[in-house]
């Protein structure tokens, strides 16, 4: 069930009602990293069930499947967070889930997906979409897109609704970008109510396809060998979805990139100063704020900390680094 139609703010509000009770309303936390006139808040999706915002979109998508579609099962490809979200949502609906995961994905995410009852197929990151299509053709399973699906985007957009409810005076929202489903949903929900709020996408420099395309005015695709270099394993998608690209170019105000060193430093700062455990992909939004803090002096900013599923060994390594 890949829905290609563009979701609306009304779809996001419907999604909020549909997923209520199945997902956690995550807290908006003062980070202690901003200033009195431009405070930084953290939308702690790392505290979501399963450790990632992805459960919102997956739950909204699976909730709308027909009985026939549920009987056929669902399939997707993911580095881990969407994998766990689909597995969790599928388990709650009694639906079989098959997940194609790259061998480069953290072991902690693979084990968590298996523990949720999904069948996991491991391939090289360059082959995950192709292998998924092969299995889908054989089984008839329904594809639940990680990011380019109206129901998934609407589910992710419920984060924007919660931000506006908890911090009506918000001036800027910084969002990590991979395939673009999260930022598309947040932009739709926030801009509908508050067109003046700045929506800023943040990517790793090593996976900066959207930043390049945003500057050029055309969607671009990067090689998986390039995007696979970033520590932010959840942001290694080669290009934003076409549907997402159109939403982003209309509603997103700017796209920033951050270095690997900035991601690691932001991850450490978020854990040590704000006491919020995040994975590299979730720290990217904080890195964007810290790398260009002077740009956000016009009011309160919110960084969406999108996930907290960090490999323990990596967390220890990052925390052992000296403060910058």
Catalytic center residues: 54, 79
Measuring CA to CA, which residue among 282, 58, 8 is closest to residue 160?
8
Contact status, residue 220 vs residue 213, Cβ threshold 8 Å: yes
φ, ψ of residue 189 to 5 degrees: the values are: -70, -40
Give the containing element (helix H, strand E) for 256: strand 254-258
Contact status, residue 221 vs residue 202, Cβ threshold 8 Å: no
Sign of CA dihedral 232, 234, 235, 236: positive
Distance CA 25, CA 237 (A): 27
Contact status, residue 176 vs residue 156, Cβ threshold 8 Å: no
**Which residues are CB-contacts of 160 (< 8 A; sequence separation ≥ 6)?**
12, 173, 185, 186, 187, 188, 189, 190
Distance CA 324, CA 189 (A): 35
What is the distance in angstroms between the CA of the first residue and the CA of the last residue of the chain?
A: 46
């Amino acid at each position: 069930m890949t829905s290609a139609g563009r979701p609306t703010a009304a779809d996001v509000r419907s999604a909020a009602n549909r997923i209520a009770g199945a997902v956690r309303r995550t807290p908006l936390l003062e980070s202690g990293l901003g200033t009195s006139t431009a405070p930084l808040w953290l939308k702690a999706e790392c505290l979501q069930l399963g450790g990632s915002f992805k459960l919102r979109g997956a739950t909204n998508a699976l909730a709308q499947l027909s009985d026939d579609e549920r009987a056929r099962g669902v399939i997707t490809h993911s580095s881990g967070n969407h994998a766990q979200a689909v597995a969790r949502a599928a388990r709650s609906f009694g639906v079989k889930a098959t997940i194609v995961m790259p061998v480069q994905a953290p072991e902690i995410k693979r084990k968590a997906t298996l523990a949720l009852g999904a069948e996991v197929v491991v391939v090289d990151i360059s082959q995950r979409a192709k292998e998924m299509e092969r299995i889908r053709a054989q089984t008839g399973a329904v594809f639940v897109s990680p990011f380019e699906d109206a129901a998934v985007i609407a589910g992710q957009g419920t984060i924007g609704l919660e931000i506006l409810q908890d911090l009506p005076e918000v001036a800027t929202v910084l969002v990590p970008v991979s395939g673009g489903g999260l930022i598309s949903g947040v932009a739709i929900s926030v801009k509908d109510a508050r067109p003046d709020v700045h929506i800023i996408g943040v990517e790793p420099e090593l996976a900066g396809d959207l930043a390049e395309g945003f500057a050029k005015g055309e969607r671009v695709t990067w090689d998986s060998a390039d995007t696979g270099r970033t520590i932010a394993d959840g942001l290694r998608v080669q290009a934003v979805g076409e549907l997402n690209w159109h939403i982003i170019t209309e509603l997103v105000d700017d796209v920033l990139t951050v270095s690997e060193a900035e991601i690691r430093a932001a991850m450490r700062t978020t854990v040590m100063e704000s006491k919020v455990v995040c994975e590299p992909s979730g720290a990217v939004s904080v890195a964007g704020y810290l790398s260009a803090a002077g740009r956000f002096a016009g009011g309160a900013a919110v960084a969406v900390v999108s996930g907290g599923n960090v490999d323990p060994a990596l967390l220890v390594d990052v925390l052992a680094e000296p403060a910058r």
